[in-house]
Amino acid sequence: MGLGNIISRRLKVFAIALIIYVDYKAIQKRVRWAKGSKKNTIWEKTHERNARRVLNLMIELEGLWVKLGQYLSTRADVLPEAYISVLKQLQDSLPPHSLKEVCRTIEKELGKSMKDLFSGFVHTPLATASIAQVHRATMQDGREVVVKVQHDGVKEIILEDLKNAKSIVDWIAWAEPQYDFNPMIDEWCKEAPKELDFNHEAENTRTVARNLSQSNSSDPNSVHIMIPEVILSTEKVLILEYMDGIRLNDNESLEAHGVDKQKLVEEITRAYAHQIYIDGFFNGDPHPGNFLVSKVPPHYPILLDFGLTKSISSSMKQALAKMFLASAEGDLVALLAAFSQMGLKLRVDMPQQALEIAKIFFRNSTPAKEATENIKALQDQRERNMKALREKTKLNEKEAQRFNPVDAFPGDAIIFTRVLNLLRGLSSTLNVRIVYLEIMRPFAESTLQGTMMMHEPASSSQWIYDSPIHSDVEAKLRKLLHDIGTDKILGIQVCAYKDGKVIIDTAAGRLGKYDPRPIQPDSLFPVFSVTKGITAGLVHWLVDKKKLRFEETIANIWPNFGNSKKNLIQVNHVLNHTSGLHNAMGDVMKDDPLLMCDWEESLNRISNSTPDTEPGSLQLYHYLSFGWLCGGIIEHASGKKFQQVLEEAIIHPLNIEGEMYIGIPPGIESRLATLTVDMDDIEKVMQQRQNADMPANLTRSDLAQIVAGVPVVFNTLNIRRAIIPAANGHCSARALARYYASLGAAGQIPPPHSSNSKPSLGSHVHIPKLPSITVSKKKKGTNNGTSAQKANSKGYTLVSSNTNKHENDDIDNDIQQKATRIFENQKIHDAFMGTGDFSGLIYPDGKFGLGFRRYRNTDGNLTSFGHSGLGGSTGFCDVENNFAMAVTVNKMSLGGVTRSVVQLVCAELGIPLPDEFSSSGKKGPDMQLTLGSS
């Protein structure tokens, strides 16, 4: 292609683009003064006029522009009818290239004359497309074939057109920032040249045919399609088996042969679901011209043209499957995790809007006659999202229009969305409605479940995360986990410290039932009431800093708490579950469970609650109220926000940033384990419901249904992000074990965690930051931060104090000056367990000390303390033996996995087994729901 032709093509493209742009801008102003039908007529004529301009340009220039026109012609669901009807002419009906050119290319590529190759060659092409044209022929051996021949010089044209298209997209993004198609054109620039090598297409054709033929009729995910056999290929010539079929745009023939168009498009959709989710190798160009329909019943679809075929990694395949299921189920956590896994980065935390946009990709297809309503619905959705964006970012309307909420869009996902749009357009062209969520779901589920099966302990040592073994006992533990297997374990972490050193740090299994990624040392598990032990530690920290006293009445530090007969309740009553507020907010939780996501309202409800028993008179487990009671005490005593105190007291000193949260921040969703229930053990719950130690509203007959429903609630994003200090902690076992190792050493901070644990503990940013919001206007006072807001390189943030700054300086200074200890009180263990000088502050012979479940050994001595959570996660330490241990699980079980793990480790180390984990000892209320036979 000469320089003159290059310049000429470029000028023509930009001239037509400018004419169309100016035309539409002028009509936008003109129709403001028109009314009713006249306005519609003006728009129809405008669409018709500009569609003709586009068609004429594409026919003249051919190359890439024809492919673009073919794509647009399939979007009957979103484009005006004028464009669809006009651009349909580009579906394999371009003016043919000369027979002389075709024969010359064939002979040059194959090195033989036409007579030596074919006994018959039809001069009139079956179809002429952007890159090649196809002729029917008969080989010398009698085989009926089609010969696909690349246009002479098309490679140079395509490459030049890509540059021009890129320039136009850049210009549109500048003129109309809300229409930035750069990620799409960038991916197209990368993939389109691959279509110019027919050897590449031949191999793709063989691969797809092989993949789709491997399914059998008994497989529910089997597909019924036909793909022509590859006979011969070179770079510019491809010879395929001839298949007699009907074109999808030949409606008359489709009806004459009795083709069920609904079943036809459904089977095409199934074929693409199989290619994407099962094979990870799919045709990226499913426009109507690339399909035929067999004339013989049952009229299977015939798939053609595999030039633009995309291969995706196993990780991307899983992410796309997860995104699909998350959209179908409205699972915000899974959606954000899928985004992270596929490399899609957002500049603003708006998960609900992200879900709505994702749902648009998988929405039902609509017939062409509903295009107008569909366009309006999409526009309305866009306006709602734009309004939400302005409210979230505080940008004005002009700034919001120039703001792109996506920071990075992976190329693989771009081709995937292009395929979905083309399939949607295909459905609209044939006037059928396809329910993608039903058709594609089994394939997405099969992908994730199939990957899980591949990593069962029996078939893969990688079921246990590949990390160094720290000790002999860890080697034996890993064998135990392997023996227990996936029947009882979905995902698990175990970490233990002995004499300040890490002796166990093992991770095994998968992040979730539909998340086959491996559990790693830094994976975050929801640990339920294990959170209480962390929250209690914050109260002890404030007492140690002399900001609080155990005997202090809560009303003395918490305004309004003293009403409703609560004026005598002391801090110690809350810590040892004798405040009488064990059922506080119980009715509210039944009527409106999501209220517990509202921190301030929950504190307000707690302050207005009425105790059921006299303070100190009876120990009844504060299953949820414990967290808000302690949380209110912590905030009012410190004058700081709960999460700030958590960071100052525990996270920062122990160097466990990014691995312990009560209320997760945005940006860590990809590391979250997902809860599920061991349904085989549900019946055992019913056997526990009459236990007198259980809270009254946990003993009713529908307890099994409550336990089964817990994962549904606690897997949701709003619950995970809420501050519920009795129930929704998220942590890794290594962070939890380090916490208890410190408590067991009277607050002494252990040496750095094992260097063999990757990634290193404390290496994560604690509060991840989304990419900055960039607008043309200079940003003023980012987030209106105050001088009290500070940050270090780990993302550790101090939240503004609620009281005079000087009142809290001593706490902040202590952290910096005494980083070797959390507590100064050398007898802090007595406070945790309610022994020695603190024995008068607890309920006699009760299960709890001051905030911690206290454990007796086989001799009946109190040597250990900790806290377990519903379903099996636990953390504890043995003071006498300088031992600390944590177990986190995501398959809530009554089957004794945790107990088996603790029993093995204690036996191997010669450490007395805490009664919580023995077969006959007294159990705390959370562990009562996690017991079963070993």
Are 747 and 557 within 8 A, CB to CB? Answer: no
Helix axes 411-429, 182-191, angle to 10 degrees: 90
Between β-strands 345-346 and 891-892, what pairing exists: parallel, antiparallel or unpaired? unpaired
Q: What is the DSSP string of 393-408?
A: H---HHHHHT--SEEE
Instruction: Specify whether 702 is catalytic.
Output: no
Nearest in space to 10 (alpha carbons), one of 164, 138, 180, 179 = 164
Nearest in space to 534 (alpha carbons), one of 615, 634, 618 = 634
Residue 382: which residues within 8 A CB-CB, separation 6 or more? Answer: none
Check residue 96 and report its DSSP letter.
Answer: P
Are 284 and 260 within 8 A, CB to CB? Answer: no
User: Which residues share a beta bridge with 408?
Assistant: 345
Q: d(Cα 926, Cα 48) in Å, to the nearest integer? A: 69
Q: d(Cα 922, Cα 325) in Å, to the nearest integer? A: 42
Residues across the chain: 934
Identify the three-state secondary structure at position 27.
helix
Identify the three-state secondary structure at position 428.
helix
CA angle 524, 527, 533 (to 5 degrees): 115
Structure tokens at 508: 């095994």
* 159 CB-contact burial (10 Å; exposed 0-12 / middle 13-18 / buried 19+): middle
Are 244 and 295 within 8 A, CB to CB? Answer: yes
Peptide bond into 759 cis (omega under 30): yes
Identify the three-state secondary structure at position 867.
strand
Are 154 and 67 within 8 A, CB to CB? Answer: no
Nearest in space to 547 (alpha carbons), one of 649, 648, 639 = 639
Are 889 and 898 within 8 A, CB to CB? Answer: yes
Are 491 and 527 within 8 A, CB to CB? Answer: no
Structure tokens at 901: 């793990």
Residue 784: which residues within 8 A CB-CB, separation 6 or more? Answer: none
Q: Give the distance, in angstroms, between the CA of residue 77 and the centroid of all CA atoms in the same chain.
A: 28
Compute the radius of gyration of the chain from its Cα atoms: 33
| Backbone conformation region of residue 294, classed left if phi is above 0, alpha if psi is from -120 to 50, else beta | beta
Neighbours of 30 (CB within 10 A): 12
Q: Which residue has the tokens 């490679």?
A: 155
Q: Give the distance, in angstroms, between the CA of residue 876 and the centroid of all CA atoms in the same chain.
A: 32
Q: d(Cα 765, Cα 427) in Å, to the nearest integer? A: 46
Are 503 and 470 within 8 A, CB to CB? Answer: yes
Catalytic residue among 92, 285, 522, 544: 285
The amino acid at 740: Y
Neighbours of 581 (CB within 10 A): 26
CA distance to 102, 898, 933, per residue, from 677 (Å): 65, 15, 17
User: Which residues share a beta bridge with 874?
Assistant: 868, 887
Q: Which residue has the tokens 């797809």?
A: 208
* 708 CB-contact burial (10 Å; exposed 0-12 / middle 13-18 / buried 19+): middle
Nearest in space to 848 (alpha carbons), one of 553, 621, 652 = 621
Catalytic site positions: 285
